Amino acid sequence: MSHKLGAPRQSAHYKSAHYIGATTLILLAFFVGRLQGGTNSMSGTAKCRAYVPTEWGEYAGAGQYGIVFKDNEGTLRFVRGVPCGHEGTPAIDLELRRK
């Protein structure tokens, strides 16, 4: 049984140990990234905060066009881009009013 010069043969145990080690490192990096990048689950505080005026009414759901708020007069306001990092009011992307 010959093999190329300069390329020693690796045993199945050696290959499986490297596979397990690499998989463990990838999973560890993934979970550390998720813990650091998401909300702070220990204190319950979000990394991003935006405020919606009470005049916009109640949250009515979310759909393909964005987050929806409905006021007492039936006006629907759709918001797509919530400004993260700015503690301000999001811009209304679409407003539907009843006549």
Q: Where are the domains of the chain?
A: 10-47, 54-96
Which pair of tokens denotes residue 96?
Answer: 């539907």
Dihedral over alpha carbons 28, 39, 41, 68 (to 10 degrees): -130
Residues in the chain: 99
Q: Are 77 and 92 in contact (CB under 8 A)?
A: yes
Q: Sheet of 94-96: strands edge to edge?
A: 58-63, 66-70, 76-79, 94-96
pLDDT of the chain, 99 residues: tens digit per residue:
555 565 556 566 556 666 676 777 777 666 666 555 554 555 677 777 788 889 999 999 998 889 999 999 999 999 998 877 666 788 899 999 988
Q: What is the pTM (predicted TM-score) of this model? A: 0.52
